[in-house]
Structures are given as structure tokens and as C-alpha cells.
Amino acid sequence: MKDEENTIPENLQNKILFSQVVALLQNARQQVLRTVNSTMVYTYFEIGRMIVEEEQNGKNRAEYGKQLLKGLSERLTTEFGKGFSVENLDRMRKFYKTYSISSSLMTKLNLEKSDTLLRISQDSISQSLIGVSENQKAQSLISFFKLTWTHYVFLMRIDDVNERRFYEIESEKYNWSVRELKRQYDSALYTRLALSRDAAGIMKLSEQGQIIEKPKDLIKDPYILEFLGLPELHHYSESELEEEIINKLEHFLLELGHGFTFVARQNRITFDDKHFRIDLVFYNRILKCFVLIDLKIGDLKHQDLGQMQMYVNYYDREMRLEDENKTIGIVLCQNKSDLVVEYTLPENNEQIFASKYKTILPSREDLIQLISESR
């Protein structure tokens, strides 16, 4: 009797399961030219649902599940070729379990429901659109899954729901590649932003992504510049640091955040027959203001902040247009004293900022500690 429980019985129920999955895949292939990505992701979601629901009928769930995936994999591989290994089917199963309780998915379906819909069921996404045709359900789900399957495979590794949703929103909004998504996760972007916010602000990150409304929203501390390839203890000059940033400008813009465009390097300003050079000048299209960056090797000095104040004042008075907002200045340094910053800048300061930078990618634990020390 035990051996019978540990194998997939060749009964009508399993034949129906196989037929349903085959029909689903065939339907996806018919739509491939129009909605390749979303349709296939939705398809994997539905395969995951079918697997989960079939597993729940097994008497010995753990063993039954293993045998179910093995048998389904063999038959689907014979029918459709590669892509349906036991490992991939298990990913689809996990995908359904992860996103069937997604609050963002529930919200979307709730907002799109017609007058004939009843409330969203919290038990299963398959019951979330009562009174609507299967085609309408499918279209709602297809429109929800906007990223590639590879994106979702990576996102499923993030256990924290709020953090996962943040990276999902940012990937959709700014068209991050999987490589860019991984880089932002590895540099703990969510953690760096979350630690500077209260509970309401953290919730906004998971619901809306990063919202930039004021200068402080642009600032990270620390900035992670591991893409420059400069060893942490390597002796390099400020000009060498600047040169590497220019060589990796696309990566640097990604680290700076949303809305940045490059304007100039070593921008010369002159008054009283004296010349000064601003290391890097950017413009932020969201805040509609110039952003000046000065690079410093070693400890931050009060003179560095004073110099940046002069640059900002010059840009505000000579370069800024009437419909533009006040210029922001950021001093990037290896080390800083919060007291030096506090007593050098005015109490109501909203324009001048000092942040650390790291040229290696710390472990997530070290990075969280580093961020905490900066608050």
C-alpha cells in the first residue's frame, strides 16, 4: 500500500492534470507573438497553481509531490522539449505560492474588478475573480506580470515581502535588466533607503518604490562604487577616482538613482580672476535642479563643505533658471564626521550633503552596520 502512495497513479485525475497543462502551454504558444513575456510568466504561474492543487490531493504530500513533479517533467519534456525539468517545475510551484498571496496582485485585481465581482478572497488567487470568465481572469493576471521569468526567479529569493515588492516596482518602472536588479539588491538599495525612513516611509517603498519629492530623497549614505574596480586600500588620487567614474558613467548613474543626466566634468567657474573646478555636474529631471558632486580622498573637512556651499551659491545665482529648483551639492568622501557636518552646515540645510563611498561591495551585514552608524 505504501509503495502505491509513493508513485503517481495512472488514473483519470492525473491524465486530466497533464491535459490541462498541455492545453495551457498550447494556448500560450498561440499568443507568443503578442505577449511572449507576460503570457509565459502567467502560464508558469498557472502551472504552479495546478501542481499545488494536485499536491493537496495526495495522501503523503512530500513523497507524492516529488513523484508528481518527476512524472510531469518527463511527459512535458517529451511533448515540449527543454524547460520543464523537475527544478523548473518546482520554481513554478514556488512562484505560485509566492505570488498567490501578493498584496500588490490582490490590489490590482481588486481595482480592476467589475460590478459583478465579489470581494477578493484571501485564501487563493484562483478564487479572486468570482463571477468573471476564465479569459478575463487570465487577462488580469497577464497584465500584472510585467517582468521576465528570470526576474521573478531572482525576486523569489527575497524573503521579505516589502523588500521584494520594492525591487519589483523599481524593475518595472525603470526597466532594469536582471543584471541591474541583482546589482541593486547586492548593494542593499532597499536597506539603504529604508533605514532613513519611518514606518510609513518604508511602507511607501514597498507600495510605490522610491519617490523623490525633496533633495534628501536623492541622497544615499553610503554610495557603493564597487563597479569602479578600485581596491579599498589602494592609493589613488581624486582625479583617478573621477576618471574611473567617467569610464563607468552608466553604472554611476544607476547608483545615483532616478532622473540623473550627466552635464559636465571639471566644470570651471571664474570670479575675481580666480578659477575653480567642480568635479562632476549632473541635472536631476525629477527635482528640476543641478546636482554638483565633489570627490574627496580621506576624511571630510569643514573646508570641503564650505567650498561646496560656494559652488552651490554660484550655480543658484548664475546658472539656475527661474523655473528650476535650488542646486544640490554632494561631497563624496571616504570618511566623515557627523559633527563636522552638523556644525558646518546651517540647521535648516536642504542643499548640501556629505556621504561616504565604498569602492568594494561589503557583505549585507557589514553594509547594514555601516548604514546604521551613519544615522
pLDDT at 60: 55
**Is residue 231 reached through a cis peptide bond, with omega within 30 degrees of 0 on the bond before it?**
no
Work out the angle at residue 323's Cα, subtended by the Cα atoms of residues 321 and 324, and round it to the nearest 5 degrees: 65
Sheet holding 260-271, edge to edge: 223-224, 352-358, 328-335, 289-299, 274-284, 260-271
pLDDT at 229: 87
**pLDDT (tens digit, 9 = 90+) per residue, 281-336?**
999 999 999 999 999 998 999 999 999 999 999 999 999 999 999 999 999 999 99
- Please state the pTM of the whole predicted model: 0.75
Q: What percent of the chain lies above the pLDDT cut of 90? A: 45
**pLDDT (tens digit, 9 = 90+) per residue, 240-270?**
999 999 999 999 999 999 999 999 999 999 9
Number of Cα atoms under 13 Å in the Cβ half of residue 213: 5
Average pLDDT over residues 341-358: 92
Cell of 217: 530623497
- 86: number of Cβ within 10 Å: 16
Among positive and negative, which fits the CA dihedral 316, 321, 325, 329? Answer: negative
CA distances from 261 to 68, 254, 257, 258, 290 (A): 52, 11, 10, 9, 10
Contact (CB, 8 A) for 65 and 122: no
Binned at pLDDT 50, 70 and 90, residue 118 comes out as very low
Number of Cα atoms under 13 Å in the Cβ half of residue 294: 25
Find the Cα–Cα–Cα–Cα dihedral 325, 326, 331, 337, rounded to 10°. Answer: -120
Class of domain 215-373: alpha beta
Contacts of 204 (CB under 8 A, 6+ apart): 197, 211
Average pLDDT over residues 335-364: 89
pLDDT at 102: 58
For the cut 60, the answer to whether the pLDDT of residue 369 exceeds it is yes
Phi, psi of 262 (to 5 degrees): -80, 135
Q: Which residue type occupies 319?
A: M
Q: How many residues does the chain have?
A: 375
**pLDDT (tens digit, 9 = 90+) per residue, 56-93?**
776 556 667 778 888 999 999 998 888 899 999 999 99
Q: What is d(CA 55, CA 65) in angstroms, rounded to the nearest whole number? A: 6
Contacts of 19 (CB under 8 A, 6+ apart): none
pLDDT at 114: 38
pLDDT at 56: 75
**pLDDT (tens digit, 9 = 90+) per residue, 200-240?**
888 888 888 998 889 988 888 889 999 998 876 557 889 99
- List the domain boundaries for the chain: 2-144, 158-208, 215-373
- 204: number of Cβ within 10 Å: 15
